[in-house]
Amino acid sequence: MKSSAKNISEGRVNLNKAGCSTAEAPAANPIVIYAAKCTGCNRCVNICQVDLFLPNDVKGGPPLVMYPGECWYCGCCVVECPEEGAIELRHPLMNRVYWVEKESLRNY
Ligand code: SF4
Ligand code: SF4
């Protein structure tokens, strides 16, 4: 068994280079949890309607992002999190739309 899969199966945190607890690279993952800020309260785990997360076996450890492809981008996990900056929702590029006002060319 590969070591990252072993870590997940044993409930250990899989930290990538950005210090995030993710099962995949951030580019492919809409949810990023910053282990340094996360207190492991699991409020995001409980609020997510598609059960995208798994609680960490280690008490106080950040949840594991197990099924990033199931995310609805509803933002409930971010709103529910009591720790500012502990969890980030990254919308797909095609959803990051800017509206440009015709007269002034201002972006919104
Ligand atoms: S944005 Fe919504 S669907 Fe996606 S992980 Fe958070 S709570 Fe779950
Ligand atoms: S709600 Fe925030 S602090 Fe609590 S486990 Fe989720 S990311 Fe960590």
Fold of 3-95: Alpha-Beta Plaits (3.30.70)
Q: How far is the CA of 83 from the centre of ligand 1 (A)?
A: 16
Q: What is the pLDDT of residue 54?
A: 96
| Whole-number pLDDT of residue 19 | 53
C-alpha–C-alpha distance, residues 87 and 100, integer Å: 29
Q: What is the pLDDT of residue 20?
A: 53
* Annotated domain spans of the chain: 3-95
- Which pLDDT score, from 0 to 100, does residue 15 have? 52
* pTM for the whole structure: 0.72
The one-letter amino acid code at 81 reads: C
Q: CA torsion 65→70→71→74, rounded to 10°? A: -130
Query: Which pLDDT score is estimated for 25?
Result: 45
Query: pLDDT under 70 in the chain at which residues?
Result: 1-28
**Structure confidence at residue 91 (pLDDT):** 87
Phi, then psi, of 76 in degrees rounded to 5? -60, -40
Q: Is the CB of 39 under 6 A from ligand 2?
A: yes
Choose the residue to mutate in 42, 43, 50 for probing ligand 1, maximizing ligand atoms within 8 Å of C-beta: 50
